[in-house]
Amino acid sequence: MQNEQPFQRLQVELERMIAKKGAGAKLPSEPALAKSLGVSRSTLREAMRTFEVQGLIRRRQGQGTFVVGKQKTFEGGLEVLESIETLSERIGLNVSMGEFDIKRFPVSEENRNLVPFPLKTTLIQIERTINTEERPIAYLVDILPVTILDEKDLQNGFDGSVLDWLLKRGDPVLSQSNTRIDSVEASSEIAHKLQIQRGAALLFFESDVYDTSNQIVTHSYSYFLPGYFDFHIVRQVAKKYFK
Amino acid sequence: MQNEQPFQRLQVELERMIAKKGAGAKLPSEPALAKSLGVSRSTLREAMRTFEVQGLIRRRQGQGTFVVGKQKTFEGGLEVLESIETLSERIGLNVSMGEFDIKRFPVSEENRNLVPFPLKTTLIQIERTINTEERPIAYLVDILPVTILDEKDLQNGFDGSVLDWLLKRGDPVLSQSNTRIDSVEASSEIAHKLQIQRGAALLFFESDVYDTSNQIVTHSYSYFLPGYFDFHIVRQVAKKYFK
DNA sequence: TACCATTAATTGTCTGACAATTAATGGTAT
DNA sequence: ATACCATTAATTGTCAGACAATTAATGGTA
C-alpha cells in the first residue's frame, strides 16, 4: 500500500458520498461529518475544498454544503490520458494490433522542425494500425528517443501501445500530455493503410507526452476513422470561483 | 467586490508565486509561508491541497513542497467553455459574423432523437457562419428553447455568439458543457456555406451546454475548417494522487 | 400584515499542539 | 578511511478547540 493517510481515504469516501447524493442534496455539517468519518474538521475541510474548486459541491456560510451534481471531469472523457487500446476496451470495442512497423532515425537539420527532440537524438518511430474484426479504424505513430525505449524492449509483453507499455514499466513516470485536435484528409499512404479512399475525412490528434519533471517523452500522431470512437470533453465556464 | 475571503486572495497569490518559481523549486515552509501571506496555516493548507490535487505542486513530509511546473489545464485549451468569437479574439484572429439564419420549430416525433429537449418544446435554431477577411472558416448551429432566448432578445446587442450572449445576460447561469469531437465530410449544403468542396474534411463538435443546476440549455453543432483553429487539450494520467 | 431583533445552525479562520517522515549530522566499530 | 547507526532538526500531516461571519428561522411588536 502506498498511501494510507487519512486524507486519501477521506477523498474517496467523500467522493462516494457526494456521488450517492443527488444534485442539490445537503451534506451533514462539517463537525458531524468529521466525526462520522473519523477525521478532524481541518482535514475534512481540505478535502471539501478540493471538491469545491472542482465544482462538485457548493458551500454557503450559514447554510451548509450542497451537492452540485455536475458531471465529473475525470470520468472517461478526453481529459484522461489513456491509450487507444485501453479506451477501446472501456467502451467495449474489441480491437487488435494490425500492421506494425519500426524505424530508427536521428534528428537532423531536415526533420528537426517536425519532432520536438534535440538535434542528433536517435529516435525510434513505431507505426501501427488498430483493427476491429472488420476493418482498420486508426493509424498511430509514436516517436521517442531510443534511450527511453528501444527495439528489444518491444519484445517484453508489448501489445501495441507505447503508452500502456511505458505506464506499466513506470519509468519515466508519465504525468500528462498536450494534444492538438484537427481534421485532415487522408493522404494516399494513410488511405491505403486504413483501407479508405484518399481524401476521406479523418480525426487527427497530435500529442506530446510529458513525464513528472516535465520532460517530453513521446511525440505522436493519431488518425481516427470518424464515428468509431466517442471522444468527448467536459468544458468549464472560465469563472472558477463563484459564490 | 464579490469575494474578499482570505482563501480567495490566497489562491491567486499562491498561484502567482508558484508560477513565478520554476519547476523543481522549493517553496518556503508552511509556517513561514502562512506568516508571510498573512493567513493561518490551516487556510494555507487548504489552498495548497487544491494545488496539489491539480498536480501543480508536490509535498513531501519531512522535505517540503516543490513546484512541479506542469502546464495549467485552465489556460486556453479546450477545457474552457468559451465562444468561437472569444477564442478567435484570444488567438488574434479577426472574425465577423457571416450568413445568419433563425428558425423556429417544435420538438416532434421525427426529430426528438436529434435534440435533447422534451417533446413539444418550441425551439429556436440559430445558424451562422464565422468569417475572416478572406473566407468563412466555421459554421455553427445553436438550438435552444425559446423560453431561454427568443427572436427579440437577439436584437439587444447580439454579436453572433449565443454563448457570449447568455454569459452576458447571466441567466441561466452556465456552468459547463459536454462536447463530442469528430471529423466529418462536408455535405453539399455545408460545403456551399463554407465555400469548399463537398466531401472536404471538417472538424466537428457536438456540444450540450448546462447551467448550474445541471439543466441543459443549448445543443449545438459546430463545423470548423481544418487548420484555422488551434484546439488543444491537456490530458492527465488517470492516477490522480501519487506520492 | 409588515417589520425588526434575537437566536440557532453552519461555514470561515485562527492558534497551538503533537505525530510522522526525511535528510543531514556526527559518532562508533571495523 | 569506510560503513553503519543513532540523534537531531526541519518539514508536512493531523488534531482539538475556539471564535468570527453569515444565513435562515423564530417570534415579538407596531
Q: Whole-model pTM? A: 0.85
Mean pLDDT of B185-198: 96
Who among B182, B226, B231 is closest to A184 (CB)?
B226
Which of A67, A99, A114 represents a domain boundary (last residue)?
A: A67
pLDDT of residue B79: 82
ipTM computed for the complex: 0.82
3-state secondary structure B83-147: CHHHHHHHCCCCCEEEEEEEEEEECCCCCCCCCCCCCCCEEEEEEEEEECCCCEEEEEEEEEECC
- Domain check: are A211 and A105 in the same one? yes
Q: Which residues 6-45 of A have a C-beta within 8 angstroms of B? A: 7-8, 11, 23-24, 42, 45
pLDDT of residue A71: 67
Q: Which residues 97-126 of B have a C-beta within 8 angstroms of A? A: none
Q: Is residue B239 part of a domain?
A: no
Q: Which nucleotides of D are covered by protein (CB under 7 A)?
A: 9-18, 21-24
Q: Is residue B114 part of a domain?
A: yes
Question: Quick one: closest CA in B to A70, which residue?
Answer: B214
Interface contact B226-A80, CB threshold 8 A: no
Q: Is residue A37 part of a domain?
A: yes
Number of domains in chain B: 2
B66 is near strand C: CB distance < 7 Å: no
Q: Is residue A242 part of a domain?
A: no
Q: Is residue B243 part of a domain?
A: no
**Average confidence score pLDDT of chain A:** 87
Q: Is residue B209 part of a domain?
A: yes
- Domain check: are A82 and A105 in the same one? yes
- Domain check: are A82 and A21 in the same one? no
Which of B67, B94, B122 represents a domain boundary (last residue)?
A: B67
pLDDT band at A21 (very low <50, low <70, confident <90, very high): confident
Strand partners, A236: B80, B176
pLDDT of residue A194: 96
Mean pLDDT of A195-199: 96
Mean pLDDT of A229-237: 87
Closest CA to B137 of B128, B147, B129, B145: B129
Asked if B197 reaches chain A (Cβ–Cβ under 8 Å), the answer is no
Question: Quick one: closest CA in A to B56, which residue?
Answer: A212
* Residue B110 C-alpha, separation from nearest chain A C-alpha, in angstroms: 22
Which of B67, B85, B117 represents a domain boundary (last residue)?
A: B67
pLDDT digits (tens, 9 = 90+) for B125-164: 999 999 988 899 999 999 999 999 988 888 777 778 899 8
Q: Report H helices in chain A.
A: 6-20, 30-37, 41-53, 84-90, 162-169, 188-194
**B71 vs A65: which has the higher pLDDT:** A65
Q: Which nucleotides of C are covered by protein (CB under 7 A)?
A: 8-17, 20-23
Q: Is residue A238 part of a domain?
A: no
Scan for cell 469575494, then name that residue.
Answer: B3
**B76 vs B183: which has the higher pLDDT:** B183
- Domain check: are B88 and B125 in the same one? yes
Mean pLDDT of B74-83: 76
Closest CA to B161 of B242, B228, B88, B241: B88
Mean pLDDT of A109-127: 92
Q: Which residues 153-182 of B have a C-beta within 8 angstroms of A? A: 167, 174-182
- Domain check: are A126 and A217 in the same one? yes
pLDDT band at A102 (very low <50, low <70, confident <90, very high): very high
pLDDT over threshold 50, residue B5: yes
- Domain check: are A32 and A113 in the same one? no
pLDDT of residue B25: 86
- Domain check: are A87 and A170 in the same one? yes
pLDDT digits (tens, 9 = 90+) for B9-66: 888 888 888 888 877 889 999 999 999 899 999 999 999 999 988 888 888 898 999 9
pLDDT of residue A170: 80
- Concatenated DSSP letters for B172-240? S-EEEEEEEEEEEEPPHHHHHHHTS-TT-EEEEEEEEEEETTS-EEEEEEEEE-TTS--EEEEEEES--
- Domain check: are B41 and B161 in the same one? no
- Domain check: are A155 and A129 in the same one? yes
Q: Is residue B208 part of a domain?
A: yes
pLDDT band at B239 (very low <50, low <70, confident <90, very high): low
pLDDT of residue A20: 84
Give the separation between CA B89 and CA B84, rounded to whole angstroms: 8
pLDDT of residue A199: 95
CATH code of the domain covering residue A43:
1.10.10.10
pLDDT of residue B2: 39
Q: For residue A232, give the amino acid letter.
A: H
Closest CA to B241 of A170, A39, A215, A3: A3
- Domain check: are B17 and B131 in the same one? no
Q: Give the nucleotide nearest to A60 (CA→C1').
A: C11
pLDDT digits (tens, 9 = 90+) for A130-158: 998 889 999 999 999 999 998 888 877 77
- Domain check: are B173 and B218 in the same one? yes
- Domain check: are B59 and B113 in the same one? no
Give the separation between CA A22 and CA A16, rounded to whole angstroms: 12
Which stretch, A4-13, A115-124, B68-77, has highest mean pLDDT?
A115-124
Q: Which of residues 19-38 of A touch strand C (CB under 7 A)?
A: 27, 29-32
Containing structural domain, residue B122: 74-232
Scan for cell 488543444, then name that residue.
Answer: B232
CATH code of the domain covering residue B141:
3.40.1410.10
A65 is near strand C: CB distance < 7 Å: yes
* Residue A229 C-alpha, separation from nearest chain B C-alpha, in angstroms: 8
**A184 vs A174: which has the higher pLDDT:** A184
